[in-house]
Amino acid sequence: MNIGIIGSGQIGSCLATKFVKLGHSVSIANSRGPASLKQLAEETGAEAATVEEVVKNKELIVVAIPQKSIPDLPKNLFKNLPKNVVVIDTGNYYPDLRDGVLPELEQSGIDSLWMQEQLGISVVKVFNSIFATSLNDLGRPEGDRNRIALAVSGDDAKAKEIVFQLVDDLGFDPLDIGTIAQSWRQQPGSTIYCRDINLAELKKRVVAMGTDWSEMHELIIGKHHSDQLLMAADFPAWLKGFREPLTHLRDKYPDS
Q: What is the pLDDT of residue 255?
A: 32
Exposed / middle / buried, residue 161 (Cβ in 10 Å: 0-12, 13-18, 19+): middle
**SS3 (DSSP) at 247:** coil
The Cα–Cα gap between 33 and 37 comes to: 7
Q: What is the pLDDT of residue 135?
A: 96
For residue 41, being part of any structural domain is answered with no
Quick one: average pLDDT of 150-168?
98
Q: What is the pLDDT of residue 136?
A: 95
For residue 61, being part of any structural domain is answered with no
The total number of residues shown for the chain amounts to: 256
Q: What is the pTM of this model?
A: 0.92
Which residues lie across from 4 on neighbouring strands? 27, 61
> What pLDDT, in 10s, does the model give residues 80-106?
999 999 999 999 999 999 999 999 999
The Cα–Cα gap between 223 and 229 comes to: 10
For residue 14, being part of any structural domain is answered with no
For residue 8, being part of any structural domain is answered with no
Per-residue pLDDT for 157 more than 90?
yes
For residue 36, being part of any structural domain is answered with no
Exposed / middle / buried, residue 169 (Cβ in 10 Å: 0-12, 13-18, 19+): middle
For residue 221, being part of any structural domain is answered with yes
Per-residue pLDDT for 248 more than 80?
no
Number of domains in the chain: 1
For residue 29, being part of any structural domain is answered with no
Could you tell me the residue range of the domain that residue 149 belongs to?
A: 66-252
> What pLDDT, in 10s, does the model give residues 162-217?
999 999 999 999 999 999 999 999 999 999 999 999 999 999 999 999 999 999 99
Quick one: average pLDDT of 117-124?
96
For residue 179, being part of any structural domain is answered with yes
CATH number of domain containing 152: 3.40.50
